Structures are given as C-alpha cells and as structure tokens.
Structure 1
Amino acid sequence: MSNTALKKQAEEISVYAYKGETVKQALKRDGRINKTILKKNCVLSELSEEGETEMANLVDDLDGKSFKIILLDKSSQPDSQPGSLDNADMLLNEPQTSGADGNQGPPQQSTASESVNTQTTEESPEKSALHEIHNSEKMLNHLRSQLSVSVKQMKTQQKVSKLSDVQNLFRVEYGKNTKTCLEVKTVKRLMDLSKSVCQVRINGSAAGSGFLLFDKFVLTNGHVVKNIYDQDTRQLGENVTVTFCFESLEQTDSCETVQVKTEVAAYEHHTDVSGYLCDWALLELCPGQALPDGLLKHFGFVPQRGGICIIGHPGGGVKKIDPCFIIPPDHREQAVEKHYEENKECIQLVTDSFFNNRQVLSYDTCFYFWSSGSPVFDEHCNVVAMHSGGYAYENAKCQTQSVIEYAHPLSLIIEQIILKVVKTGRFDVLNEFLSCENAKHQQVMENLKKIVDGRNFTAFKNAADNLEVQNDKRLKTFFEFFSQREEPVLMDID
C-alpha cells in the first residue's frame, strides 16, 4: 500500500474498474497501491482457485473475485499485450496526495468491482479464509448512490480532454453574439469620422477627449476644463491645446497640436431647475491650421436601443473605439446589480435619481478616465451624444472599473449652446452654427422655441434689435422665427 497506515486498518480493499480497462490501469487510477508494484513484474493470484492474472489482462471477467498480489521477480513490468488500453486517452489523471503524509483521496467509483488481497510474498502462502468486510453493506449502498454522478462526470472529462486547443478556441469564437459585429462599410465610415475626434490637453498633459462640432469649435465636457475656467471673465487660466492625430505611441512627439483660444465660446457646468446636470464646453481654436470636418452635419437623436460606438482617448492614451450596447432606463438597475453582486465591498450604490433620469444615454463601456467628451455614434454613424462619465470604483485587484456609464444627448447640448451664445451675445458662434446645414436642425429649433416661449427669454427679444443681427440675413431670419407667435384657432360652436 502507498499509505502504510491504511494497511494496518484493512486486510482487504475493493478496487473499482471500467470494463475494457487493464488490471494495471485500474490499480493505477485507484491510487492506493504502491507504484513499485506497477513497475515490477507482478501478477494477481486468485484466492479461491489456482490461476494467475497478469497486469496487462482486462478486468472484464474479474468481477467479484479476490486476489493477492505476487512479485514474480524484480524485473520491469512486461510490455502490454497487443491492443492494450494502457496508454489510451480515456485514462484519467492520477489523484494527488492531500499532504506530506501521503494520504490519497477516496477511490473513484465505476461499473465493476474486484477485491484484492494485499499480502506480499513474504507472508504465508496459504489461502486465507474469506470473511465479511466490516460495514461492507453500508459502504456498498453509499458507493451505489454516487455511482451514476461519478460516471457522468468522468465521461464529461474524457470528452473535454480530447478537444484540441484549436477546437476550444473555435468553440469560444462560435459562441459570440453576432449582434456585436459591425459591417465593414460602417467601420470604414467610423474611421473617416474619427478624424474629427481629438484629445484635449492642459499644459501638454492629457485632460480629456473632444470632437470638432462645426467650423473651428471643439465640444468637450465642462468638467474637463472646470478647474482652469474663470466664470466671470470666461477665460482659461492655463494653456489648452487639442490634437486630432494621436493614434499611436510613435506619434507622441510628432503629432501636431492646435492652440485653443483663451476665451471660451460657451460653457455650462451646473444643475438646472429640473435636476439635470449641464456639463459641456465649446472651445474655439486659433486660426491658421487645417482642420477636419465638423460632426454637426452628422448629428442625430438618441435611439431607444441598439448598438453604439464611442471614439476617444480613454486613459489619456491613443485614439480608440469601443462598440457597445445601449442599456435602456428600465434595465439600468439590473445592470448595476450585476456589478454590485461581484464587488459588494467596492461599489457605492448608484442613486435613484440616475435610474429615473431618462434624458441621459446609458451603456457599459471600457472608456473611463480622460475619455470625457468623446462622441457617441449610433448604428447609422450619426453623432447622438457626448460621453460624459460613469460611477467608478476600484475592485479587489486595484483595477479601476465602472458600474455604468452615460452620455448627454447632443440635441440637448445644442439647445443649451444656442441659449448660452444668445445670452452672452456671441452671435459669431451662432452664425457659424447656422451655416452648417442639417435636416434635423428644424426639429431642434422647434423644441428650442417651446423653451424660449415658456421661459420668456428677454435675450431673444433684445437680439432682434441688435445691429449685427439686422445686418446678417441668416441671423435675422433665425430671430424672426423665435419672435413669431401662433395665432389662436377660432372654432364655431353651435
């Protein structure tokens, strides 16, 4: 026996084997027999009658028989018989010892049994009388109850072990959701639009992401420049630049940067009366450098569901793209619970106000820090929102993750930009915005008119009399639209 303590407690042991196995295979898998016996020239001698069984023989006809192991000589075990399963793939791994004392795990169960007397050749050659094993009936019932489960597990292991690494790889690939696939034409279109995405830098260091919205105006989040922005003077207190070409680490030094003007075109970072956080900044670039096309002409409204793509500079690194799926407002709580169950000690629960906020677009992305200001595209390559943040935490492995991420709809930001530039008298910015044609602008204007009429903005009334507006046909038409009043409908009542 491998464990000498076990030999003192039992005179006989039961070995379980599969039909089609050799004696050597069964003893090897059992694990309790000293491995020397499997290497030396040993045979099984039957107790009830004369006859010997070699280690290479099959166990099929040995059910219920009792043997003792005899060492014929110290030579090596003879070669297996032709057709032997000695090296077959069905052999399971040898059980590992549980510690330094050499104790083995419990014997594995199978469909046949054989009782082996472990007397050595030094003991008396006389055949010992058969007697009942202590608690044998109880042991047998216990083994039978576990037999079917063990057999199923073994068969499963055998099937899996026969799969090559290549097969396992393809099993994973074939299991992917086809909805995550993008058409080649969509990828090409996004790559073209990605030229307008930039990295925002403060004093040469990455601070966030952004994109050219129209003309020479870059849109990013207000919190990206919040710490260097003066509300009273509307000036930036530090040097701000953007770069549109940072797509590889080799371009770190050679990538061309564009200077941002000190005066900010428009800025909002506050919570309005409805509890909605306005968080955006419109930065004006200095003239003199060639710029990509603005994305305003590709503007679209936020879809209710489906796939989206975010392009930006997560982690302050090179430009990246992340395809993901929209999480509808009704499913946000379920998405958060999934993260929370896995990281209860790390996550602070997201507030109920977020779950109920149907204005923001929510999703699950890998874009974390320094990706604020990235444009969000829908399945038709329309810019529908601006990636703004998420509820971040640090997991047990000290890795930064986020429970759920969100973006502000571009339609709401456009409305806020128009209100702001009219209020501050930046009609030059408004004029450049109006010069960018988009079929969806009319719907934005109609929504904005409802806001202006409802809140009675005096800035729109006063702007109609401004000399700059009067001398510009485009601006004049714009403010005339807001000065129109709907005529009451007269109804004949009998």
Structure 2
Amino acid sequence: ETEEQNKRVHHGRAISSHCPCSLIKDECLTVSYVKTKTVDKQKQIGSNGSVRPRRKASSCELVMFHVLTIGGKNVMKILRTPALKAIVQEITVYAYKGEKVKQALKRDGRFQKTIFNKNCALSHTGTHVTTEMSNLVDHLDGKTYRIILLNKANPPESLPGSLDDSVKNKFPKQEPNLNGNTAPEEVIREIPHSFKCVVKGKKTVSKLSRVQNLLRVEYGQNVQMCTEVKTMKKLMDLSNSVCHVRIKGSPVGSGFLLFDKFVLTNGHVIKDIYNDNRQLDVEITVHFSYESLDPMEKGQESGVVEVEEVAGFEYCPDVSGHMYDWALLRLSADQKLPDGLLKHFGFLPQGGGVCIIGHPYGGVKKIDPCVIIPPDNRNQVVEKSYHENQGPIHLVTRQFFEGVAEYVQRNSEVLTYQSCFYHGSSGSPVFDKYCRVVAMHSGGFTYPDARGDMKSVIEFGYRLSDTIEHIIVQLVERGSLDVLKAYLACSYPHHQDMMNDRDLFFFCNNSI
C-alpha cells in the first residue's frame, strides 16, 4: 500500500517537513509529490503526542548539512523513499549543535534503519574525511557527505553527554552504559594500560572505540595547522635543502643539509656500507633536485653531490634503551649548496600539525602534512588499526599490534604521527607549524592489508635536539674539530638554549 507524500525542495535539495522555519528565510520552496510506503504514525508518536521529538533551540544552535541520496559501496540504498532519488541528488538534514550525527539522521526520518544497524559513517565528498555516527555535528554545517560503510563490524557505541541525551530520556531505549558509573575521563586514563585486554574481549573494544571517535574529530581539526598558504610557501623554500640519498645510484633514503656542507640522515640508511674507520665501501651521492620523473627537465642533475666521508654515525641504543639512529655525511661540495636547516631548528611541540618532506618509496620529493599523536593517545591509534584488520582471514597477528603498542608506550620521547611516508623516506626532516625542524622521520610499523596494499599503524621520528647533542659529543670525542667549528659557526635562534641546557658550551670550549 502506498500514499502520496509531499517533499519540499530547497536549493535543489530535499528538506524534511519538520525543518525549522528559522533556517529558511525569505526563500522559495518547491513542493513535489512522490510515492511512499504508508507509515504507521502511531509508532512514531512519543509520549508527548508529537510525531518526532523536538527541543526548543535558537537558530544559532542549528546546523544544516547535506547527504547524497545514493550511498557508497555495499550501502547504496539509504532512503526509505527510493523515488526521492529521481527528484534530487542531495537531501538536507538539520541538527542541533552538541548533538551526534546518528541522532540527527534518525530524527530526520528519511533514512533506512540499515545505516544505523551497520557501521556506517559520513564521508566528505571533497576531502573524503570520515565523520562517524557518534561524532558531533558541530563542524558539519554547509558541507556535503556520502553515507559509506566503514566495515562489516557492529557500529561503535556512543558516549553519553551530548544534547541528544535529553531527547532519549523522553523516549526510553535500552542502551549499553559505560561500565556503570565510569566517566569518559577515567576511560581515557585506562587505555594505555589495557591494550592486551582490548584484543581479547569485545566489551572492552566497544568502550575504547567511543573514545577513539572523539579523538578522531580532534585530529581532523588539528591537521589544518600545516596547510596555510604562507606556511606551505615557506616549506617549499625549505624543501630545497632536502635531498635524496643514493648508494651506487640506487635510492636508499632521504636526508637534509644540516649546516655548512654536512647532510643528516638516519644511520640505518647507510649502516650496511659503513665501516669502523669512517670510510665508505661504495659511492654515496645526494640529490637535492630530484623533483620530477622527467630526466630531461631543467635542473634535475644540477643538485647531485658526492659524499666524501661519514663525519659521524650512531645506530644503537644508549644505556637507558633510547635508540639513536643518525649519520652525518660530509659532502665534497664543488658547487653551491642550499641553506642548512639548522638555523630553523626547533624543540619538539606537544601537539598540533607537522609536515614531512622527503622521498617516499625512492620517488620524487614530496610533502605530507600530518598530525602529532601525543603519548597518551598512541594506544588508541594502535587499537583502531587492530580493529580495522579483523576479518575472516587474519593477515596480521595480534602479537604484531601488541608489539607496536609496547614500543610506542616505552619510547615516549619520540615524536609519533600517521603519515603516508613509508620506505625510502627515512632521514626526512619533520617541520612544526612554524616551519621549524623538530625531528627526523625514521620509521613506522607497516603491514599488508587484505588487498595487499601497504598500510602503517603509526610512524615516528627522533627528536632533532637529542640527535644534535649526540653529534656534538661524538665530534668532540673523535677530535673532529673542523666539523665542530663549522657547527658552532652556524647561528640559530635556539642555539644558546640548546647548548646551555645540556652544558655543551663547557664541553666544546674545553675541546677546541
């Protein structure tokens, strides 16, 4: 049995019949009629007699976002009225600030139950950034999304505390609670100590997933810190000092000119061809201008410089277990070199955005803006990767993820983030939002997914301040006074702080 139902069209998008008038000011609406299944309105009536729960709210508390009428793969049919797709390509949903996506879509009334029973999310049509059902709607205003299926797992539960809880109280529903009276803050404190419990039981998994959803929103907002035009312009200039490291012509890693004619890269990049007498067994070259695959492009070979010797090298942990992984290469520079990045040195930030510049997979020079993962949030990232890789066939073992979790918690002094820079990018400089070099990109934990594509759980970089300290100490111990003088001749804003904090001035002055 069917009945005709009117649909209001606003700016080419269908709006619901209960859309607040405050969102439509002095504008014309087109009213169309489509066939729809008869709905038992008694099922929709709440205890107060209204068809849908409503709350008093001023227009400033409202947001409007748009959803494509066709969903993504495996969840294409999302509307209760399929005929609506013949009239419009998008529908407009209104919501109250502080409300979750799931509650807004449910109140709208035009979506099938399928999207709430499956682990669906909103995917931005331009950036493809996902917003899960348990995220807040505050940042969705004016944007367009497609409903997609994240995976075939059950959807994560929501944290209490958003504005829609007041509505739920009027319409009682059996909802799982957050482990009795446990507050969200207590759950966050539990996470670093409970990863092994997470991978053993689903109850803990759902509890932690809710915290991850909140953190994902925060990450999405912070990533904008490294994408301002003025920042990118400055980074483009600084990228001239980043180089491609090759052994006998084959790419092995990345690096950057630190000061004078000395390039810094990771020790593991050259460890197989370096011997104890600091001599190189084979030829190493660095390429500052490898930015195009076209060998005929102007300037491609102008930045090729041979490495004369290894001025310093360390690839081992210290007595406390902290790993040091660096190599200082002296160039036999017969040509003009770019500026050293030591003058742009900075200490490690606590959070926000960073940018990595290097040669991932041995390819052309690239830049990757990403977000710092603070030590307290590292386990959530590992857990998220573990849950996303649960399926009928386990390509990656539980022990792998437990090992990653243990490493990132034990090595709290490293900088962690998520990046697409994998093999071949070791030695790349990591810049903070002020374009200061704060770390050297050094590694990550990669694994193949079900399709054979390479994925990574988390990546890390060693603090540049720690590396510089060990460089200075080793130069003094080896008696490499010419290199030490070249370093001291390079003035940079934090030079005084760096030397005083570690008593390096006294150490150097007694050696020169």
- TM-score interval for Structure 1 and Structure 2 normalised by the shorter chain: 0.5 to 0.7
Distance across 1 between alignment mates of 2:287 and 2:91: 42
8 Å CA contact retained: 1:17, 1:111: no
SS at match of 1:188: helix
Map of 1:403 onto structure 2? 457
Distance across 2 between alignment mates of 1:213 and 1:419: 17
**Change over 3 Å in CA distance of 1:236–1:166 after alignment to 2:** farther
Map of 1:367 onto structure 2? 421
Does residue 238 of structure 1 match 2:282?
A: yes
Distance across 2 between alignment mates of 1:363 and 1:89: 51
Amino acid at match of 1:236: L
Amino acid at match of 1:430: L
Amino acid at match of 2:290: F
Map of 2:509 onto structure 1? 479
Alignment of 1:245-256 (within 5 A): 245-251=289-295, 254-256=300-302
Distance across 2 between alignment mates of 1:367 and 1:324: 10
Map of 1:104 onto structure 2? none
**Change over 3 Å in CA distance of 1:160–1:226 after alignment to 2:** farther
Residue 184 of structure 1 and its aligned partner are, at CA, apart by 1.2
Amino acid at match of 2:463: P
1:220 counterpart (265, 278, 296)? 265
Distance across 2 between alignment mates of 1:378 and 1:446: 23
Map of 2:347 onto structure 1? 301
Q: Deviations over 1:135-175 (max 9, x none)?
A: xxxxxx9xxxxxx9xxx974465556654489984696837
Larger Rg: 1
Residue 255 of structure 1 and its aligned partner are, at CA, apart by 2.5
Distance across 2 between alignment mates of 1:269 and 1:284: 18
8 Å CA contact retained: 1:246, 1:252: no
8 Å CA contact retained: 2:445, 2:457: yes
SS at match of 1:264: strand
Map of 1:391 onto structure 2? 445
Does residue 429 of structure 1 match 2:483?
A: yes
Alignment of 1:26-425 (within 5 A): 90=34, 110-111=38-39, 154-155=79-80, 157=82, 162-164=87-89, 169=125, 174=143, 177=220, 179-181=222-224, 182-230=227-275, 232-251=276-295, 254-344=300-390, 345=394, 346=396, 348-349=400-401, 350-425=404-479
8 Å CA contact retained: 1:19, 1:111: no
Distance across 2 between alignment mates of 1:157 and 1:376: 49
**Change over 3 Å in CA distance of 1:166–1:17 after alignment to 2:** closer
Residue 410 of structure 1 and its aligned partner are, at CA, apart by 0.4
8 Å CA contact retained: 1:258, 1:289: no
Distance across 2 between alignment mates of 1:426 and 1:237: 21
Distance across 1 between alignment mates of 2:371 and 2:241: 23
* TM-score of the aligned structures, taking structure 1 as reference length: 0.60
1:444 counterpart (498, 502, 511)? 498
8 Å CA contact retained: 1:222, 1:281: yes
Residue 352 of structure 1 and its aligned partner are, at CA, apart by 1.6
User: In angstroms, what is the RMSD of aligned CA positions?
Assistant: 3.2
SS at match of 1:234: coil
Distance across 2 between alignment mates of 1:251 and 1:156: 56
Q: Which runs of 5+ in 2 are unaligned?
A: 7-31, 44-50, 52-76, 93-123, 130-142, 145-216
Distance across 1 between alignment mates of 2:377 and 2:463: 19
**Change over 3 Å in CA distance of 1:281–1:153 after alignment to 2:** closer
* TM-score of the aligned structures, taking structure 2 as reference length: 0.58
> Sequence identity, in percent?
49
SS at match of 2:462: strand
SS at match of 2:423: coil
SS at match of 2:503: helix
Distance across 2 between alignment mates of 1:277 and 1:446: 23
Q: Which runs of 5+ in 1 are unaligned?
A: 1-15, 22-87, 93-108, 113-140, 142-147, 454-459, 461-477, 484-494
Q: Deviations over 1:106-125 (max 9, x none)?
A: xxx5359xxxxxxxxxxxxx
Q: Deviations over 1:387-424 (max 9, x none)?
A: 00001111111111111000001000000000111111
Distance across 2 between alignment mates of 1:277 and 1:322: 25
